[in-house]
Chains A and B, each alone.
Chain A
Amino acid sequence: MSAPTIVAQIAVTSSKRLWSLPNEEAFCTAELMSGAGAVAQAIRQLPGFRPGCHIALNLPTSREWIEALLGAWFAQAVPAALNPYALPEELSFCIDELQAVGIIDLHGTEISAEVAPQIARISLCGSRSVHPSPLPGGAPIPPFDPRDCEQFHVDATLDALVLFTSGSSGRPKGVRLSHRGLVASVAGLTAGIEPRDEVFLLQAPMHHVFGVVTCLLALSTQSGAVLLPAFAATTMLEAIVRYRATISFGPPELFLGLSSCPGLARYDLRSFRRILVGGSPCRLAQLLEIERALGLETIFLSFGMTETTGGISLAPLRASDGRPRVHAGRPVPTIEVAVRCGDVLAGPGEEGELCFRGAHLLTGYLGQPEHGENDWLASGDLGLVDADGLLHVTDRIKDIIIKAGENISIAEVERVLLETGRVREVCVVGVPDERLGENVAAAVISTDSALNKRELQRLCQGKLLKSRIPQKIVFVDELPRLPTGKVARRAVRALILEDGKGKSVSP
């Protein structure tokens, strides 16, 4: 393969159908490439366009999202996936960070001019049409020539994609991923799950690395796929039945939501055989319940981060002897894993910070120095590799909360709470939650005694995504501190759990 990119692996001749919900539009890869060709032509016409420039994608999981991604690649631009549900302030911040030459969105749901006043727009309106036509006089865009795809060449070490993660500073961080990283990630997953005439259910959002990699995995393995713009349990179950979906990737909480869906027995889920879970810590009882309720053949467990271009490890829940055990997968051959305790390498079975190196890793963060090819990435997760070579994640050093697979920056939540003007000091922590894995909680010193939980939550609306607003809030006179003066987060967590046994409490 002369150009090690995913594009070269996508079979344009595949006759497999893909479906985009909610309008149930069916299409094939060749049609997808046509749409991508039109997008590429539009991108090339943007003022300031040059190879390697950033183009922002503000689209839900849909056919148009894939066309925009591939179109950006054909134009030699670097697509950056925004969260289409993000609040204006966050979108504005991400667009500024990118210095993007244009933004692609859906005609009729364009990002507001206030969020991005200066930026050029490409609006996709329905399938295969770009509005307005980028060609002189609005001429129709010529059909895509599949040879363009075969002839697609790009240096695989160059950036392929920018995704934003919840940064420890409270602002999103742009993570630059390479074509090589995407290839390594997709190859690792392909070898691990050995696709066999699959129909993927793609419900993960495409601004999340999980979503992008699963979508590319489906395209490059000539699989069928169903694209869902958002999670809704009944829609997902109906899609499994209707399109005979066979496989899906997501956080455990999502599949637990499916397992506990009222009327589950009504759905014929026999086609749905395998899932891959990751993005959130797993518990054995939870996984066994998912396996039983959905009648699954295999649950793969995996670990990955945005910075590792998604999953770098996977293995089935059940070993060859059939016994289930929780782990975080077996590292794929193309990733190196080191477990570090300070400057010392930990031995097998010893806990330390998980560090990674290899083709999967980011090329760098936006606005920061490159991540060198031989540099290790410290994950911010504590864990170990056991005697069987399986990865285990035991704890987290980084300041994030993982709520149903969504990484939430503690710093962002604390900043918004302080900016309400009614909070003098705050400590935000993650507390265990049976349904969501973790939930957002806060211990607050308020400036006035009249403030209560609901009022504080209301003040956060429009400034924080709803999923990030603390559900459990404890009002205190002082925060527990370490001898160094820093807030003792563990003590705060214990205090919140003790107060109302984890339930929301008001003053």
Chain B
Amino acid sequence: MTVQEIIDAMVPVFREVLDADDIELTEATTAEAIIEWDSLNHVQLLHSIEQRFGVEIPQAEAATFKNVGDMARAISVKLAPR
């Protein structure tokens, strides 16, 4: 999957977990820009993304993501055939 394809696939996950059907994502989208994203639903969001792509994203790694693009690139690396 390309980074853009991953971001497109992340949109429905964000919309469902954060309960807002008008969330749009780009590579540059930050947590700060999504009003519905807070520290209490963060773990659920991360877990749902892990499930959607069948990958593991440790909390420490997630803390290094500056934006959605960083997250998508990390998932892309995990999905790449070894």
Please list the residues of chain A having a beta carbon within 8 angstroms of any beta carbon in chain B.
230-235, 253-254, 257, 260-263, 404, 435-436, 453-454, 457-458, 461, 466-467, 469, 471, 503-504, 506
Contact = CB atoms under 8 A, between A and B. Distances in A.
Contacts of B22: 453-454, 504, 506
A230 B40 contact: no
A260 B22 CA distance: 25
Given A254-B40, A469-B35, A504 B59 contact: no
B26 interface: no
Contacts of B47: 262-263
Contact of A262 (B32, B36, B40, B43): B43
Contacts of A231: 39-40
Contacts of A461: 32-33
Nearest to B20: A504
Nearest to A505: B22
Nearest to A260: B44
Given A232-B59, A454-B22, A506-B22, A261 B43 contact: yes
Contact of A471 (B33, B35, B39, B40): B35
- What are the 7 closest A-B residue pairs judged by CB atoms, nearest first? A262-B47, A257-B40, A233-B43, A231-B39, A234-B59, A469-B35, A457-B35
B38 A232 contact: no
Contacts of B44: 260-262
Interface residues of B, number: 16
29 contacts: A231-B39, A231-B40, A232-B59, A233-B40, A234-B43, A234-B59, A235-B59, A253-B40, A257-B40, A257-B43, A261-B43, A261-B44, A262-B44, A262-B47, A263-B47, A404-B40, A435-B40, A453-B22, A457-B35, A458-B33, A461-B32, A466-B32, A467-B38, A469-B35, A471-B20, A471-B36, A503-B19, A504-B22, A506-B22
Contacts of A454: 22
Nearest to B58: A234
Contacts of B43: 232-234, 257, 261-262
B46 to A, nearest CB: 8
Contacts of B38: 404, 436, 466-467
B78 interface: no
Contacts of A254: 40
Interface in B8-65: 19-20, 22, 32-33, 35-36, 38-44, 47, 59
B35 A435 contact: no
Contacts of B40: 231, 233, 253-254, 257, 404, 435-436
B35, B38, B41, B59: most-surrounded residue (chain A CB, <10 A):
B35
Residue in B19, B32, B38, B59 whose Cβ sees the most chain A Cβ within 10 Å: B38
A263 B48 CA distance: 12
B39 A230 contact: yes
A310 B33 CA distance: 33
Chain B CB count within 10 A is highest, among A231, A254, A453, A466, for A466
Contacts of B39: 230-232, 257
A457 B35 CA distance: 8
Nearest to B19: A503
A397 B68 CA distance: 41
Which of B39, B40, B42, B44 is the most central at the interface, judged by chain A CB atoms within 10 Å of its CB? B40
A454 B38 CA distance: 17
B15 to A, nearest CB: 11
Given A231-B40, A404-B40, 15 more contacts: A232-B39, A232-B43, A257-B40, A257-B41, A260-B44, A262-B44, A435-B40, A435-B41, A436-B38, A436-B40, A454-B22, A457-B35, A458-B33, A466-B32, A504-B20
A234 B56 CA distance: 14
Nearest to A231: B39
A503 B15 CA distance: 12
Nearest to A256: B40
A435 to B, nearest CB: 7
A360 to B, nearest CB: 30
A435 B20 CA distance: 14
Contacts of A469: 35
A231 B40 CA distance: 8
Contacts of B42: 232-233
Contacts of A435: 40-41
B59 A466 contact: no
Contacts of A260: 44
Nearest to A460: B35
A263 B47 CA distance: 9
Nearest to B31: A466
Contacts of A234: 43, 59
Nearest to B18: A471
A260 B59 CA distance: 17
Contacts of B20: 471, 504
A104 B32 CA distance: 27
A253 B38 CA distance: 12
A94 B39 CA distance: 25
Contacts of B19: 503
A157 to B, nearest CB: 38
